[in-house]
Amino acid sequence: MKILNVDQIRALDQATIQNEPIAPLNLMERAALAFVDWFVDHFPDTTLTKIFCGLGNNGGDGLAIARLLLERQYPVEVHVVRYAPRESDDFMHNHRRLKLVTEKVNYIEFSRDIPALRHNEVVIDAILGSGLSRPTEGIVKSTIEAINRAPATVVAVDIASGLYADQPNAEDDVIIEPDYTITFQLPKLAFVLPKNGRYVGEWHTVDIRLHKRYIDLAPTPYYFTHPREARLLLHKRDRYSHKGTFGHALLLVGSYGKMGAAVLSARACLRSGVGLLTVQIPRCGYPVLQTAVPEAMCRPDGHQYVLTGPSEVEGPPPGDYTTVGIGPGIGKAPETLAMFRELLPTLKKPIVVDADALNLLSENRELLEQVPPNSILTPHPKEFERLTQTWKDDYEKLGILRDFAKTHQVVVVLKGAYSAVATPAGEIHFNGTGNPGLSTGGTGDVLTGVLTALLAQGYDPVEAAVLGVYAHGLAGDRVAEQRGPIGMVASDVVDALRWE
Ligand SMILES: NC(=O)C1=CN([C@@H]2O[C@H](COP(=O)(O)OP(=O)(O)OC[C@H]3O[C@@H](n4cnc5c(N)ncnc54)[C@H](O)[C@@H]3O)[C@@H](O)[C@H]2O)[C@@H](O)CC1
Ligand SMILES: [K+]
């Protein structure tokens, strides 16, 4: 699904109002209803709910939510933060409507008006939404600080008050730290940026039937991979297919002391549907690989400890394989660099480049030009920084990422929470699967195996990256569900891969 910027979100609201057509007040009612449906499902017990409203349309949503919850017998307290003399029209309409249901609306003008908040209460934050245009200050700031100090559960309407939807906040901005964000229709860019984690919490979109045609036509470089979209990428298997149909991949992996990386990438490659797999490892890894991964063919390198290229076992040149995956555990020995340098010009089809192969690229930048177009590079942020430059915030990082993918015509998977897949066309697809349990040694090697397998099966490289990252994260989520994230190891992730 698309991620739109604030101007586009505003235009989308207007397009919905004009084209459906629907009165703005009714659209607000629809948004409030969608929020309340989620809320009632999630908080079925009628705990005391304190709703904090600003004076714009986010506040209007809050007032409508208050009325709808009161109608459902929820004990609700409304607190309007009166930071300015004027309210929006739809705020005023909803204020009048609320007054028909309850007399009790509280106003916060001074700090002493801020109510106490207890741990068994739920706070709904409807102070500021996507209309945020400056840092929070005065009574808005004090109210947010009080909410953040409180032990109550906090649910933000649309976006946490004080958080910009599509531009960086200053370090000292005061922003709501919600447990949940319930946002309308589409996620906001701010939600998928690592620095904002605590200003988003767990986020969900609720459908308020905004104008589909506007969304379809709106230009944006940013996408979030919906599970439905990821599943659609999966190739169906013909019952008459044979192992040749799914390609023959070559993995160049491992070195003395890092043969685990070779095993993990090989096992993940096989578990991701590759037809045939050959793994080239330094000679010392031969018994390891033949024992741990009997399904793979093995090409022992001429060198005992590191990869150098030549092998005693006859085989086609790397360029003849359907694809090549290189990097996990290979180290940076001069002989390995020499091999890499010789190898690249012989490859014409997209490959997967990871780990130490990326570090070799950073240290020998002229090699970047030799990487076959549409190859997939899978750096974590440190590796990406070495490949490019440092950034001052997540937004600048996205710019650098898009430029890099476009300039070098490669697909870059920037790993982390919400891994970002940058395409040669300059788009970025954020992934939502995965959990902190994946921050453990070897999970990157697993991803290399997954992506290599998908390329071998003929997936378009962008689709391979989007689907592979999604499936890898989902496997991690399955493991975390079964055994918790802390004890998760990379082999578990291999075993939990499923393609359906
Ligand atoms: N436009 C629509 O049709 C819909 C809008 N919806 C809601 O409307 C929200 C956007 O509403 P608004 O555009 O009124 O904006 P907000 O409610 O976010 O902000 C209200 C006003 O506060 C002022 N403001 C900005 N930064 C401030 C700050 N730091 N301190 C104090 N005041 C500040 C701005 O002048 C803005 O007009 C969305 O987040 C969403 O919750 C929903 O009802 C869905 C439909
Ligand atoms: K809000």
Q: How far is CA 327 from its chain centroid?
A: 24
**Under a CB-based contact definition with an 8 Å cutoff, are residues 253 and 277 in contact?**
no
Domain pair 6-220 / 230-496, same fold: no
Confidence of residue 292 (pLDDT cuts 50, 70, 90): very high
- Which protein residues have a CB closer than 5 Å to ligand 2 (ion)? 58, 125, 156-157, 161
The predicted-structure confidence for 340-356, as pLDDT tens digits, reads as follows: 999 999 999 999 999 99
Phi-psi region of 432 (alpha: psi -120 to 50; beta: other; left: phi over 0): alpha
Interval 89-107 mean pLDDT: 96
Task: Indicate whether residue 129 lines ligand 1 (CB < 6 A).
Answer: yes
Report the separation in Å between the CA atom of 135 and the middle of ligand 1, taken as the mean of its atom positions: 14
CA angle, 204 then 207 then 209, to 5°:
155
- DSSP secondary-structure letter at 154? E
How far apart, in whole angstroms, are the C-alpha atoms of residue 52 and residue 56? Answer: 12
Task: Indicate whether residue 279 lines ligand 1 (CB < 6 A).
Answer: no
User: Is the predicted pLDDT of residue 46 greater than 80, yes or no?
Assistant: no
Amino acid type, 446 = V
User: Is the predicted pLDDT of residue 23 greater than 90, yes or no?
Assistant: yes
The first and second tokens of residue 22, run together, are: 């629907």
The predicted-structure confidence for 454-470, as pLDDT tens digits, reads as follows: 999 999 999 999 999 99
pLDDT of residue 238: 84
The answer to ipTM > 0.85 is yes
- What three-state secondary structure class fits 192? helix
Report the separation in Å between the CA atom of 300 and the middle of ligand 2, taken as the mean of its atom positions: 59
6-220, superfamily in CATH? YjeF N-terminal domain (3.40.50.10260)
How far apart, in whole angstroms, are the C-alpha atoms of residue 141 and residue 175? Answer: 8
Q: Domain 230-496: which CATH class?
A: alpha beta
Report the separation in Å between the CA atom of 344 and the middle of ligand 1, taken as the mean of its atom positions: 53
User: Is the predicted pLDDT of residue 314 greater than 90, yes or no?
Assistant: no
User: Is the predicted pLDDT of residue 259 greater than 90, yes or no?
Assistant: yes
What is the residue extent of each domain of the chain? 6-220, 230-496
The predicted-structure confidence for 150-208, as pLDDT tens digits, reads as follows: 999 999 999 999 999 999 999 999 999 999 999 999 999 999 999 999 999 999 999 99
Amino acid type, 71 = E
Task: Indicate whether residue 128 lines ligand 1 (CB < 6 A).
Answer: yes
How far apart, in whole angstroms, are the C-alpha atoms of residue 354 and residue 440? Answer: 16
Confidence of residue 93 (pLDDT cuts 50, 70, 90): very high
Task: Indicate whether residue 86 lines ligand 1 (CB < 6 A).
Answer: no
Total-model pTM: 0.97
